[in-house]
Amino acid sequence: MKRLLLTLLVFGPLTTLAQSYDFDLTQPQPIYNSSNGYGYDLIPDRLNGKTLLSPKDLFVGESFYYSVGVPDGNYRVRIEVGGRKNGNTTVRAEGRRLLMDNIITPRKKDIQIVEFTVNKRSPQIDEKTFVKIKEREKTYLAWDNKLTLEFNGSNPAIKSIHIEPVDVPTIYLCGNSTVVDQNDEPWASWGQMITRWFGPEIAISNHAESGLTARTFIGSFRLAKILATLKKGDYVFVEFGHNDEKEHRPGDGAWYHYQYQLKIFVDEVRAKGAEIVFCTPTQRRAFDKDNATIMNTHGDFPAVMKQVAERENVPLIDLNSMTKTLFETMGPENSKRLLVHYPANTFPNQPKALADNTHFNTFGAYEVAKCVVMGIKKLNLPIVNYLRPDWQDFDPSKPDNYKEFKWAPSRMVVTVKPDGN
């Protein structure tokens, strides 16, 4: 059953009729299509041909997706979790943004209410302007016209879903493959993990993409997309450097062009009355000959970002330093557990081993996200008030035990390395 509550909202330059929704997942639900605008989505092949799915159609222990077509904006989602014996549920949204994990509901009558806010976006900025997304991004759940929820875990148990538009402060993320909502396993980034630690009073809108520099981020109208809805009380987090250091046009480099682009972010964000935060680029796993020290592969870029931050009075989170500590603490072998290092045939259609020293896996992204939160706390930014009650302070010199990390893999797997390095 679906109940619609109509609310008139204004999204940037477009006026759109946004709706609130209630879905009872104990009752049969349609399969999503553009006509009905809601329902189960990305269904397994075995369910092809069906028009309605009941709870009995979903195997115990099988992940599933539910989508609702909505305009761009922030949406409060309230979910009743439980209703099955020994439920274990993880909730993610859009491009594998982690929202709640390992929710245990041991008895049929055990129902837990979880709430969070999801930012939904499309490439459209106004009637004539669109973000220049890459070909690979056209299949991303984060850029389509629907809000998609992923229910995962050893036995996901969802009783109901409520979705309503809300006006809350937004944290916008700008960056590359270490920040982006990686759409597919086994890749991940801190931008899609930090969502786990913030409550429903704030939204996180991740506009990063693999392979981008500060210049190409601006040139593809991603900053323009952010500026279209940016307002006082919002934040813009900026992490670049990995790909900027490989630009070799006249004037490129840390001391001129990189500085120039960072200043554009500062000026444009502040012109909207919002706050800007810099994050120095995460380290690569590049140990020196002593096998104890991480080498600097970013040249002058971290130092330049710090200099611009000091000159422009921009709060700065030193991810470069924190990830150096994280890698060195775990050592040459165990640090591989933070990155996409897997033997051949770990994933479908993966005949060769994966050995990537730049891109994080889910555990690594989870740890780096905790570094970002600690940076926010160290700066004492007001958004610390929106951290969830179960947040526990983190020290990169005392990382979590990778053997105890629990991640329910999504069904979407791609073993091709993301753009950039």
Q: Mind listing the pLDDT tens digit for each residue in 140-152?
A: 999 999 999 999 9
319-334 vs 362-379: helix crossing angle, rounded to 10:
150
- Which tens digits make up the pLDDT trace of 156-207? 999 999 999 999 999 999 999 999 999 999 999 999 999 999 999 999 999 9
More reliable by pLDDT, 136 or 83: 136
Residues ≥6 apart with Cβ < 8 Å to 342: 186, 350, 353, 354
pLDDT at 14: 30
Looking at domain 1-167, its CATH architecture is Sandwich (2.60)
What pLDDT band is residue 18 in, cutting at 50, 70 and 90? low
pLDDT at 69: 96
pLDDT at 58: 80
SS3 265: helix
pTM (predicted TM-score) = 0.94
If you average pLDDT over residues 301-317, what whole number do you get? 98
- Report cis status (omega within 30 of 0) of the bond before 186: yes
Asked if the domains at 1-167 and 169-407 fall in one CATH topology, the answer is no
In contact, 358 and 335? CB cutoff 8 Å = no
Number of other CB atoms surrounding residue 255 within 10 Å: 13
> Of 156, 171, 128, which Cα lies nearest the Cα of 383?
171
More reliable by pLDDT, 55 or 407: 407
> Of 235, 164, 247, 245, which Cα lies nearest the Cα of 206?
235
pLDDT at 9: 31
Q: What is the CATH number of domain 169-407?
A: 3.40.50.1110
Q: Where are the domains of the chain?
A: 1-167, 169-407
Q: What radius of gyration do the chain's Cα atoms show?
A: 21
SS3 55: helix
What whole-number distance in Å separates Cα of residue 132 and Cα of residue 225? 10
Give the whole-number percent of the chain exceeding pLDDT 90. 87
DSSP annotation of 96: T
Mean pLDDT of the chain: 93
Cα→Cα distances 323→294, 349, 399, 403, Å: 9, 31, 11, 19
pLDDT at 84: 74
- The total number of residues written for the chain in this structure: 421
pLDDT at 299 over 80: yes
What pLDDT band is residue 324 in, cutting at 50, 70 and 90? very high
pLDDT at 1 over 70: no
> Of 294, 314, 295, which Cα lies nearest the Cα of 304?
314
CA 339 to chain centre: 17
- Number of alpha carbons in the 13 Å side-chain half-sphere of residue 164: 14
pLDDT at 139: 93
